[in-house]
Amino acid sequence: MTVPVWAWIAVLGGLLVVLALDLWIVDRGEPREFSSRQAGIWVGFYVTLALIFSVVLWFTAGATSAGQFFAGYLTEYSLSVDNLFVFYIIMTRFAVPKIHQHKVLLVGILMALVMRGAFIALGAAALSSFGWLFYVFGLFLIYTAAQLVRQHGREEDFNENAVLRWARRVLPHTDDYVGSKVVVKVDGRRMVTPLLIVMVAIGTTDLLFALDSIPAIFGLTTDAFIVFTANAFALMGLRQLYFLLGDLLQRLAYLTYGLAFILGFIGVKLIAEALHSSGVSWAPEVPIWLSLSIIGVTMVITTGASLLKARRDERESKQITTSTNTNQG
């Protein structure tokens, strides 16, 4: 799909306006904790925006482009849920006050979006020049899927990356938070607060997650415009999803298996289509509607099975507690 420059400008401008409006509405006045009700409204708003954008693509670029966008959006959003576990650990480790967590996520994800944009541009250019990279991406996704299954159940941890270690070492920073400020003046010297350090942690950590999510969406489409917009819409709604899910994150026991299956499927799809393009007649081309269906059904089954398990575990826990209390009585 050939995208005119004005379309890129319109989309980027629209995204910036929506994010600025989001920040102004949520953070105006005194900082306050983000409620589940607010989070639900904003998640619905951003999902609706993505649906509207896919409809616009349908009428302007055709059903295939719209399907590729929605499949890519669904994949990126699904993979982003796994990021929230680590975001939660970062927030806890740096003891970020709840009233400032929305601002931290907003700025951190904006940083991630800029870095992902550069990553996408490089990836699109590389794939157009070196077709063999499809095999590399495919094998990498299959390897990542296997690693997800192997590491399932192990306690998540957060290891500081090189950029974050550099920032903490080089930037003079205060020991404590100073309201919602990221830069303050102490004894005539400008210093950053831990709020900026956490924003860097969120932004750079998300880029590490993009190492598997970007190849995954390139397995669905090689159109840089669709890849970028799918990432942008997924990231825009990620902040509110963090607050909406809350403790539910700990209850998604089978999420890892669902994500592993999606990554493995896209990895196999990449390799099969690369072989097909190379003239291997038995290698199939997977239509976008089938990819979208498999991704959607996988997430529905994964989420449903996880919630059923969580409910069963809660019921068993209550029965054990009741039985213990009865015996003690």
Measured between its terminal Cα atoms, the distance across the chain in Å is 72
Task: Write the DSSP symbol of residue 179.
Answer: T
Cut 0.85: pTM above it = no
Answer yes or no: are the C-beta atoms of 244 and 36 closer than 8 Å: yes
pLDDT single digits (tens) 7-58: 888 888 888 888 778 777 766 656 666 677 777 888 888 889 999 999 999 9
H/E element holding 192?
strand 189-192
According to the model, what pLDDT value does residue 52 have? 93
Answer yes or no: are the C-beta atoms of 266 and 151 closer than 8 Å: no
Residue 57 is which amino acid? L
Domain ranges of the chain: 29-153+202-315
pLDDT single digits (tens) 207-218: 776 777 788 888
